[in-house]
Amino acid sequence: MATILNVNDTDASRYLVTRILEMAGHRVIEAATGGEALRLAQELRPDLVVLDVQLPDLNGYEVAARLRASPETASIAVMHTSATFITADKRVLGLDSGADAYLTQPFEPAELIATVKSLLRLRHAEQEMRLRADQLAEADRRKDEFLAMLAHELRNPLAAIMTAIGILERKSSDDAKEVRMRSIIHRQTHHLARLVDDLLDVSRITRGKVQLRRERMDLRTVLQQVFTLIRPVSEGRELRLETSLPDFPLWLQADATRLEQVFMNLLDNATKYTDAGGAVSVQASQEGVDGSARAVVRIQDTGIGIPANKLPAIFELFSQVDESLERTRGGLGIGLTLVRNLVELHGGTISASSPGVGRGSEFVVKLPLTVAPPALASTTIASDESKRHRRILLVEDNSDARQALKDLLELWGHQVEVAQDGMNGVARALEARPDLALVDIGLPGLDGYRVAQELRARVGQAIRLVAITGYGGPEDRHRALQAGFDHHLVKPVKPDELDRLLTDL
């Protein structure tokens, strides 16, 4: 049984409509003015309003418009009726004002009932769709929470492994097999870390939550860094890596970290889909001049190629070139989606082409160039003081990660105190007065945010605070800085990255 609000200032007409609706099994509420109709609609939330156009205060068009404008009543179905305003332009005006149907009087009872049934069916379908949308939104929220927790749980062991291999790589070995094993662990750990980052980043991008940290930079610097990282991978897969960069800078206003992510994904794909003995080529150049100038990066491989029917959807989420049961090439099918979105966030474009299966492929990234920066008058050289050994407090509840990072810091010559929870961390900081504290966020008892707040309140700026955490979203970074941290690092932290941070501090 539906609840229907019947609005008409003529007693006889209102009574007739009410009787027809009640005989059809509906519950009917009556109103004689537009103001009363709006009040009852707000209070009772009927399923449908049968609304006469000619009313003594507000006309039916205005009532319908106000019902649609209010979030509380916007979903109520509205049917206009009128014996006076029956021309086509009046019906159009009624529908434009927010009505879902328009009946001219006199009408047959069957016509009224059929129209009411139709509108109630539509309203029921809308309610089902709205409920489904709410359920999907809730499921999406839960997914995001799960991904954030999953990343945190995966990054903790990754941090310990990456730090440990960083220590091992600093010790020479004459055992060729041991060197190979270290290299394998290093490559696979970094690969797993990239998969975790890609999984989270694609979720953030689809929700519009990725913000670029733009700065003026030379694209060649990013590409050279990527070449350094990918060269061991290509050599391990017995591939030739051929690179060609211009002898002039390619200035961009861009997020260097995100662009490194773009080209690492593309080159990792190129090496992954190219068999041993093949080649991967990277060429960077400039096209256009002045305001239309763009940097162009072409990545070509001699790999398995892309079937013609796969090319149109190659950048879609979960799209896979290798769909065989063996899945020998691996991957989650999210890397190219992430790449496309990051390139587009920079105002650029990316395209893919392939002559066919077994004949390789080419990806072309184009990014808008910016004006070259002015030449620096002088170069500032870091002082010896910036590289001095420091007194460091490490607050980390994961025992393996804590021990590995402590060993690495001590290998660099720092004096390290450790604490395994937030309360102990605050106590050790107040007692030992370290120069710097590396603090995990997900600590038992007193979390990292509260540790930072407590130390800022009690020792002020006398200590530098660095958050090291598995939670890596922009909102997590913002919250860390708001709590009092000077820097926010996401696990697993690369040893070189940590070393640079300690030097800069």
Q: Are residues 267 and 192 located together in one domain of the fold?
A: no
What CATH number is associated with residue 432? 3.40.50.2300
Q: Are residues 341 and 238 located together in one domain of the fold?
A: yes
Per-residue pLDDT of the chain (505 residues; tens, 9 = 90+): 899 999 999 999 999 999 999 999 999 999 999 999 999 999 999 999 999 999 999 999 999 999 999 989 998 999 999 888 888 888 888 888 889 999 988 889 999 999 999 999 988 888 888 888 888 888 877 877 776 677 667 777 888 887 888 788 777 777 888 877 877 787 777 767 777 776 666 666 666 666 777 888 999 999 998 998 888 888 888 999 999 999 999 999 998 888 988 999 899 889 988 998 999 999 999 998 777 899 999 999 999 998 888 888 888 865 566 554 344 445 546 778 888 988 999 999 999 999 988 899 999 999 999 876 555 444 443 444 445 688 999 999 888 888 888 988 998 889 999 999 999 999 999 999 999 999 999 888 899 999 999 999 998 898 999 998 877 777 888 899 999 999 998 888 878 788 888 887 7
What does the pLDDT read at residue 414? 92
Dist. CA 40–CA 477, nearest whole Å: 48
What does the pLDDT read at residue 418? 94
Q: Are residues 155 and 262 located together in one domain of the fold?
A: no
What does the pLDDT read at residue 319? 59
Q: Are residues 183 and 248 located together in one domain of the fold?
A: no
How, if at all, do strands 361-368 and 294-301 pair?
antiparallel
Evaluate whether residue 297 is within a structural domain: yes
Evaluate whether residue 131 is within a structural domain: no
Evaluate whether residue 121 is within a structural domain: no
Evaluate whether residue 397 is within a structural domain: yes
What does the pLDDT read at residue 253? 92
Q: Are residues 350 and 414 located together in one domain of the fold?
A: no
Evaluate whether residue 36 is within a structural domain: yes
Instruction: Mark residue 494 as left, alpha or beta (left: phi above 0; alpha: psi -120 to 50; beta: remaining).
Output: beta
User: In the listed set 368, 397, 420, which residue is the last one of a domain according to the structure?
Assistant: 368
Give yes or no for a contact between 448 and 421, defined as CB atoms under 8 angstroms apart.
no
Into how many domains does the chain fold? Answer: 3
Q: Are residues 359 and 417 located together in one domain of the fold?
A: no
Q: Are residues 199 and 266 located together in one domain of the fold?
A: no
Give yes or no for a contact between 116 and 4, defined as CB atoms under 8 angstroms apart.
yes
What global pTM score does this model have? 0.51
Give yes or no for a contact between 226 and 234, defined as CB atoms under 8 angstroms apart.
no
Q: Are residues 97 and 10 located together in one domain of the fold?
A: yes
Evaluate whether residue 114 is within a structural domain: no
The pair of structure tokens assigned to 173 is 């070995």
Mean pLDDT, the chain, whole residue set: 85
Q: Provide CB contacts within 8 A for 388, sequence distance 6+.
A: none
Q: Are residues 277 and 362 located together in one domain of the fold?
A: yes
What does the pLDDT read at residue 53? 92
What CATH number is associated with residue 321? 3.30.565.10
Evaluate whether residue 361 is within a structural domain: yes
Q: Are residues 295 and 342 located together in one domain of the fold?
A: yes
Q: Are residues 436 and 502 located together in one domain of the fold?
A: yes
Q: To 5 degrees, how large is the angle CA 161–CA 167–CA 168?
A: 90
What does the pLDDT read at residue 388? 67
Dist. CA 30–CA 39, nearest whole Å: 12
User: In the listed set 368, 395, 415, which residue is the last one of a domain according to the structure?
Assistant: 368
Tell me the one-letter amino acid at 138. E
Evaluate whether residue 238 is within a structural domain: yes
User: In the listed set 107, 127, 157, which residue is the last one of a domain according to the structure?
Assistant: 107
Q: 103-141 burial string, b = 16+ CB within 10 Å, else e?
A: bbeeeeeeebbebbeebbeebeeeeeeeeeeeeeeeeee
Q: Are residues 204 and 101 located together in one domain of the fold?
A: no
What does the pLDDT read at residue 309? 85
Query: Based on the number of CB atoms within 10 Å of its own CB, is 504 exposed (0-12), middle (13-18) or buried (19 or more)?
Result: exposed
User: Comparing C-alpha atoms, which of 28, 6, 3, 1 is closest to residue 80?
Assistant: 6
Give yes or no for a contact between 246 and 255, defined as CB atoms under 8 angstroms apart.
no
Sign for the CA dihedral angle at 464, 256, 251, 367 comes to negative
Residue 394: domain span: 143-210+386-505
